[in-house]
A and B are shown apart, each in its own frame.
Chain A
Amino acid sequence: MASVTSDNRGLRLATRYAVLVLVGFVFLFPLVFMVVSSLKPDQQLLADTSSIRAFLPVGDISLDNYVKAFERAPIGRFMMNSVFVTVVTVGASILLCSLAAFSFVFLEWKGRNILLTVIVATLIIPFETIAVPLLLFVSKLPWIGLDGLEIGWLNTYRVQIIPWMVDALTIFLFVQFFKDLPRELIEAARVEGASWLLIYRKIVMPLSGPVIATAAILKSLTMYNNQYLWPLIVVQDEAHRPVMVGLGYFFQLQIAWGEVMAYLTLISVPVIAFYLVLQRAFISSIASTGVKG
């Protein structure tokens, strides 16, 4: 009798794992297909879709698609653009949003509550609803550069960076985090005569590792992955184009799918690698957006 129940338990366990693996396949198969296909010549890539070979790196495997993709489009340039825009925006976002949140949580000043209410209210404005007016707006904005005064921000890095530096969610994340820090610490430092800037730099920010990580991850994903609509309408020149918009190069009359897969793999693998290394932080940062409501 005992062996029957343990068999049953083993069977049940096996079924559970079978379900988990099957579901895992549903989420993984397009990605495996992408990476594997990037290594195959077009003809074989198409022929292999009718069998399990579609997911296996077999047959005529090479890096030819990658070489050809680099010849077709200035991929290095696109990647550099995306990384530059992402890094600068994330850095500025953490600085500006944490400063503002610091002021809202620890300082008392006239207008503080009104301003915070206004910021929180902007949480419900989706970017998609302001894209068109913002396009007109930035096309007329002045800028003082090395060549003096210019009008219009189109086809620049700044148009991809500055409008994205501050958002309500990041400020909100910092506010939530700062509220849980011990206030006595700050008041004690004030009694000692520390300036606000010193308190921000030496006490508050060193304690804020977790929220900085969360904000950086969320902002990086937005800037690197989801910047499509905005650069599509404000950046026409190749020199400033980010990776997601650069995909347009691969849509000639005859789509070379092998090259497309190579490009897709190239631009996704860095993010996947980051995710695999920092998965706990990635997942908890997504979960923390859940407190937004």
Chain B
Amino acid sequence: MSSKLTRSNKAGWLFAMPGFSLLFLFIIVPFFFAFYLSLTNQRLVSPNEAQFVGLENYRNLLSVAVVTLEPETDDAGQIVRDEDGEIEYPRVRTITRSDEFPQYRGMGEWFRWHWGDTAKVVIASDVLFMKALVNTLTFALFIVPLQGGGALLLALLINQKLRGINVFRTVYFMPVVISIVVISLLWRFIYSGNDGLLNNILEVLTLGAFTPIDWLGRTDTALGSIIAMSAWQGMGFHMVIWLAGLQAISPTLYEAAAIEGASKWQTFRYVTWPGLRNTAVLVLIVITMQSFAVFAQVDVMTNGGPLDSTQTLVFQTVERGYGKQDISGGATISVILFLMVLTISAVQGFLTRERK
């Protein structure tokens, strides 16, 4: 390989350095800087020097505990019930503010469930972070099959040999070239409660049986609405990736299947799907990574609300690091996010290696 003609240390460095130094300065440095900042109490603007605080930021984000609340009893030892017959429990505060349990100090209730007469309460040191974490994972969990599956159906649809099929491909792909900020604003109107386009369309389709919903204003529909819109926007992107996978499958395999008299489903199950394996892994990973990074949709459509039901990790990084100038807090969430991304990459590496 090595020849005198192409060996040149000076020219090599000279050509690569401008690009590499920028990449180093603006990606690699901030990346390691994030780890460092997460161990300090750095603020964006502060008269005081930042101090090294060890893992305190991580403890403040990740501490979770389960406490058991015994029902309130009256003097006779009877369980106290309110007017609705529900058992009354002492407030969680009696534990998180008590000197008896210094380890729970400052924690708040995340959620609870009932176990016999007692209530099990999950308390967390940072309930908002926990909600953002769960929402981000929920987002990924639902958008992967919705967007990935939808995109595969589109790719199969567009892979037919029909006159004018390219027109449809162009149309399905169109939302991809429009900014997610524009799309989010547009859908904010489509989703709105009173004159919203979606409500009106559903009313027409159900002949008036449908009662309008304030899609982004309810805690049980807001996140789902954002997921559906995001899936819609990016479907064309993944359609193109699936399509490339589909077209890489050898036509002779299909001919063989036809000769064997395979049904359409059998052809898909035994020829198409195995041929798409690597594409499937790629689509899965890309969608998961993208959903970990969700920010603009939430910022434009709901601002994390209602009642924190659409908070996400990136939204929290920005709200803390920039909004509250708590750089170290934002950096800590960034590091956690990166570790999640790293895990996903490792899964991808594992899935694609297995095949070889």
Residues of A whose CB lies within 8 Å of any CB of B are 13, 16-17, 19-20, 23-24, 26-28, 30-31, 33-34, 46-47, 49-51, 54, 96-97, 99-100, 102-104, 106-112, 115, 118-119, 122, 124-137, 139, 162-168, 171, 186-187, 190-191, 196, 200, 221, 224-226, 228-229, 232-233, 244, 247, 257, 260-261, 264, 267-268, 271-272, 274-276, 279, 282-283, 286-287, 290, 293
Minimum CB distance partner of A17 in chain B: B162
Binding-face segment, B86-94, B99-107, B235-243, B260-268 = B235-243
CB proximity of B282 to chain A, nearest CB, Å: 5
| A97 in contact with B168 (CB, 8 Å) | no
Q: List 29 A-B contacts (CB under 8 A).
A: A16-B162, A27-B172, A97-B19, A99-B19, A103-B14, A108-B6, A112-B12, A119-B23, A125-B27, A126-B338, A128-B293, A129-B31, A133-B334, A135-B322, A224-B179, A225-B181, A226-B296, A244-B179, A244-B181, A257-B189, A264-B185, A267-B179, A271-B177, A275-B174, A275-B177, A282-B173, A287-B240, A287-B241, A290-B282
Instruction: Write the chain B residue with the least CB distance to A110.
Output: B9
Q: Which of A130, A167, A274 contacts B334 (CB 8 A)?
A: A130
Minimum distance in angstroms from A111 CB to a CB of chain B: 8
B26 pairs with A162, CB closer than 8 A: yes
In the bound complex, residues from chain B placing their C-beta under 8 Å from that of A286 are 173, 176, 237, 240-241
Residue of A nearest to B312 (CB): A128
Q: Cβ of A165 and Cβ of B22 under 8 Å apart?
A: yes
Inside 8 A of A122's CB, which chain B residues have their CB? 23, 27-28, 31
Q: Are A129 and B180 interface neighbours, CB within 8 A?
A: no
- A124 CB to closest chain B CB (Å) equals 5
* B186, CB-defined interface residue at 8 Å: yes
With A229-B296, A268-B179 known as contacts, the answer to whether A107 contacts B12 (CB < 8 A) is yes
**Chain A residues with CB under 8 A of B240:** 283, 286-287, 290
Which segment of B70-78, B195-203, B213-221 sits at the interface?
A: B195-203
Which of the 9-residue segments B126-134, B249-257, B340-348 touches chain A? Answer: B340-348
Please pick, from A26, A49, A293, the residue contacting B200 in the complex, using a CB distance under 8 A: A49
CB neighbours of A282 from chain B (8 A): 173, 177
Give the interface SS of chain B, mostly helix, strand, loop or mixed.
helix
- B residues sitting closer than 8 Å to A (CB atoms) are 1-3, 5-16, 18-20, 22-23, 26-31, 33-34, 37, 42, 44, 154, 157, 160, 162, 165, 168-183, 185-187, 189-190, 195-197, 200, 203-204, 232, 235-237, 240-241, 243-244, 279, 281-282, 285-286, 289, 292-293, 295-296, 299-300, 314, 317-318, 321-322, 327, 330-331, 334-335, 337-338, 341-342, 345, 348, 352
Query: Do the beta carbons of B6 and A136 come within 8 Å of each other?
Result: no
Instruction: Tell me the minimal C-beta distance from A212 to chain B in angstroms.
Output: 15
Residue of B160, B186, B337 most packed against chain A (CB within 10 A): B186
- Chain A residues with Cβ below 8 Å from B9 are 109-110
Q: How far is the CA of A130 from the CA of B333 in the complex (A)?
A: 11
A-B contact count (CB 8 A): 292
Query: A136 with B37: in contact, given A119-B20, A187-B5, A233-B318 (CB under 8 Å)?
Result: yes
CA A49 – CA B330 in complex, angstroms?
Answer: 41
| CA gap between A26 and B231 in the complex, in Å | 12
| Interface residue from B33, B190, B235 paired with A133 (Cβ < 8 Å) | B33
Check B335 against A107 for contact (C-beta < 8 Å): no
Residues B8 and A109 in contact, CB atoms below 8 Å apart: yes
Q: How far is the CB of A209 from chain B (nearest CB, A)?
A: 20
Are A107 and B11 also in contact (CB < 8 A) when A49-B197, A115-B20 are?
Answer: yes
Q: Specify which of A108, A164, A260 is in contact with B185 (CB 8 Å cutoff).
A: A260
